[in-house]
Copies of this chain bind each other. A is one copy, B any other.
């Protein structure tokens, strides 16, 4: 859940924006004065700041400059809200460190859309698969069982990754060959058995297979039962 700091002195507008952001399940913290805005940011470490430029006590531009000057906060995106629409103002705003600039009056939906744009691409698609104490890190190409790192070969890794990312689903040897070995394979389907064996030798603790289940007559599947309780 993303945290947004909102600095806007107009009470109605503040509520309107806050309401809409929260409806989109953003977490909102804010102030209706520029004073203390920097402290708030330092405390909250927001993912985004929405900043009215015209504020009674402290100029929004000043706050933005201060945010940019702070190492901890420098990378935080800032969206300016303003009634000033002149070219110079906009450019000054952008050059001063704003990431976006919205001129009042604006449609709230556009503000929301622009906020979302800033968060797009942030999600690094959970690269880690977990089941029980078995962990598979796709970016680093390593698997761990508890603290112990497992030495999986490329094919073993790909097979486990395929099964783990579709837990419970049963795949025929044929399907597994297509998925892991590729469509242009020239490989016996008994090969799958051997790889399942090798995987089991590495990931199964005691004799009984807890992770990879054989489904007689059909193929294999990653066990949904046992590890599910601990799946994140």
Residues of chain A at the chain B interface (Cβ within 8 Å): 74-75, 87, 90-91, 94-95, 97-100, 107, 109-110, 113-114, 116-117, 120-121, 125, 139-141, 153-155, 157, 168-170, 215-218, 221, 224
Query: What residues of chain B lie closer than 8 Å to A100, measured between beta carbons?
Result: 100, 117
* A216, closest chain B residue (CB): B154
How far is the CB of A197 from the nearest CB of chain B, in Å? 19
Partner of A95, one of B87, B116, B168: B116
With A117-B94, A170-B139 as given contacts, are A107 and B87 in contact (CB-CB < 8 Å)? yes
Integer count of this chain's copies in the complex: 2
Closest to A113 in B: B94
Listed from nearest, the 5 A-B pairs whose CB atoms lie closest are A154-B217, A94-B113, A141-B170, A87-B107, A91-B113
Minimum C-beta distance from A122 to chain B (A): 11
Whole-angstrom distance between the alpha carbons of A8 and B82 in the complex? 29
- The listed residue (B95, B99, B218) touching A154 by CB distance below 8 A is B218
Contacts A141-B218, A155-B217, A169-B139; A87 near B109 (Cβ below 8 A): yes
Other contacts beyond A94-B113, A141-B170, A141-B221: 20, CB < 8 A? A75-B125, A87-B107, A87-B109, A90-B110, A90-B113, A91-B109, A94-B117, A98-B117, A99-B120, A100-B117, A139-B168, A140-B169, A140-B170, A140-B221, A140-B224, A141-B218, A153-B217, A154-B218, A155-B217, A157-B218
